[in-house]
Chains A and B, each alone.
Chain A
Amino acid sequence: MKKTYYLFNPGRLSRKDNTLKFTPIDENKKEGKPRYLPVNQVSSLFIFGSLDANSALYNFLAKNQITAHFFDYYEHYTGSFMPKDYLLAGKVMVNQTLYYHHSSKRMNIAQSILHGGVNNMLRNLKYYLNRDKPVDKYIQQIQIYQRDMDSAANPQQLMGIEGNIRQVYYGAFDEIVNNHSMAGRSKQPPLNIVNALMSFGNMMCYTLCLDALYHTQLNPTISFLHEPGTRRYSLALDLAEIFKPLLIDRLIFSLLNKGQIQQKHFEQKIGGCFLNPKGKEIFIQAFDKKVKETIKHNALNKSVSYKHLVKLECYKLSRHIMGIDPYKPFKAWW
Chain B
Amino acid sequence: MIQITALHVHYLHICHRKLWLFSNGIGMEHTSDAVADGTLLHDTAYAHRTKRYVELDIPGGKIDYYDPANKVIHETKRSGKMEQAQQAQIKFYLYQLHELGIVASASLDYPEERKSDKIIWLDSDHKLVDSWISQVHQIAIAEISPPKREQRFCQSCAYYDFCWSVDLTS
Contacts and interface: CB of A to CB of B under 8 A. Distances in A.
A and B held together in a complex: yes
Interface of A: 65, 86-92, 215, 217, 297-301, 308, 311-312, 315-316, 318-319, 322-325, 328, 330-331, 333-334
Return the 8 tightest CB-CB contacts between A and B, nearest first.
Answer: A89-B25, A333-B170, A328-B167, A312-B165, A299-B166, A91-B24, A315-B162, A324-B145
Contact of A89 (B26, B160, B167): B26
Contacts of A325: 166
A297 B26 contact: no
Nearest to A298: B168
A176 B43 CA distance: 57
A154 B49 CA distance: 64
Contacts of A91: 24-26
A328 B166 CA distance: 8
Contacts of B83: none
Contacts of A217: 25-26
Nearest to A295: B168
Given A298-B169, A319-B162, A324-B145, 18 more contacts: A65-B30, A88-B25, A89-B27, A91-B26, A92-B26, A215-B30, A217-B25, A217-B26, A299-B168, A300-B165, A301-B155, A312-B161, A315-B161, A316-B166, A323-B143, A323-B145, A328-B166, A333-B170
Nearest to A301: B155
A312 B144 CA distance: 21
Given A215-B31, A333-B170, A89 B24 contact: yes
Interface residues of B, number: 20
21 contacts: A89-B24, A89-B25, A89-B26, A91-B24, A215-B31, A217-B26, A299-B167, A300-B160, A300-B161, A308-B161, A315-B161, A315-B165, A316-B165, A316-B167, A318-B26, A319-B162, A322-B26, A323-B144, A325-B166, A328-B166, A333-B168
Given A324-B145, A334-B170, A87 B161 contact: no
B164 interface: yes
- Which secondary structure dominates chain B's binding surface? loop
A65 B30 CA distance: 11
Interface of B: 24-27, 30-31, 143-145, 155, 160-162, 164-170
Nearest to B144: A323
B169 A333 contact: yes
B69 to A, nearest CB: 35
A38 to B, nearest CB: 14
A215 B162 CA distance: 13
B162 A318 contact: yes
A319 B20 CA distance: 13
B66 to A, nearest CB: 28
A334 B168 CA distance: 12
A91 B161 CA distance: 20
Nearest to A328: B167
B24, B144, B155, B167: most-surrounded residue (chain A CB, <10 A): B167
B159 to A, nearest CB: 10
A60 B96 CA distance: 36
A64 to B, nearest CB: 12
Nearest to A302: B155
A322 B166 CA distance: 15
Contacts of A328: 166-167
Contacts of A316: 165-167
Contacts of B164: 299-300
A283 to B, nearest CB: 28
A318 B162 CA distance: 9
A91 B141 CA distance: 11
B165 A87 contact: no
B11 to A, nearest CB: 16
A196 B168 CA distance: 33
Nearest to B160: A300
A325 B24 CA distance: 16
Given A299-B167, A333-B170, A90 B162 contact: no
A217 B28 CA distance: 10
B166 to A, nearest CB: 5
Given A300-B161, A300-B164, A87 B169 contact: no
B24 to A, nearest CB: 5
A9 B31 CA distance: 31
A89 B28 CA distance: 12
Contacts of B31: 215
B150 to A, nearest CB: 11
